[in-house]
Amino acid sequence: MALIEAGRGVLAARSSHPSQSLADLYDPDYMPADLRAAHRELDKVADLAFGAERWLKDDDDARLKILFDSYARMTGERD
């Protein structure tokens, strides 16, 4: 449930900037603070939900590994 709520937070932050395209919203130099914060919260919840022992902060490589390992576990595609 926390993951769904965090995702809704991202959607709510996006909707508070209706005149901006996704390209504008996700420009790393100009991303709105509320959207950045919502994504940070989503990352925290997702990291733990998918098996990380702690929030991975800005370690996208570690986050991808956790997500792909979780996918492999759930689909039975693990070696």
What are 40-73's pLDDT values in tens digits?
999 999 999 988 999 999 899 999 999 999 899 8
User: Are 56 and 47 spatial neighbours (Cβ–Cβ below 8 Å)?
Assistant: yes
CA 66 – CA 37 distance, rounded (Å): 21
Query: Is the pLDDT assigned to residue 10 strictly greater than 70?
Result: yes
State the residue range of the domain holding 45: 2-75
Percent residues over pLDDT 70 in the chain: 97
pLDDT bracket for residue 76 (50, 70, 90): confident
Averaged pLDDT for residues 7-27: 97
Angle value at C-alpha 40, between 24 and 4, nearest 5 degrees = 95
φ/ψ of 35, rounded to 5, equals -70, -40
Q: How many domains does the chain have?
A: 1
Put simply, whether the predicted model's pTM sits higher than 0.85 gets the answer no
Note the pLDDT of residue 78.
59
Half-sphere exposure of 36 (CA within 13 A, CB side): 10
DSSP 1: -
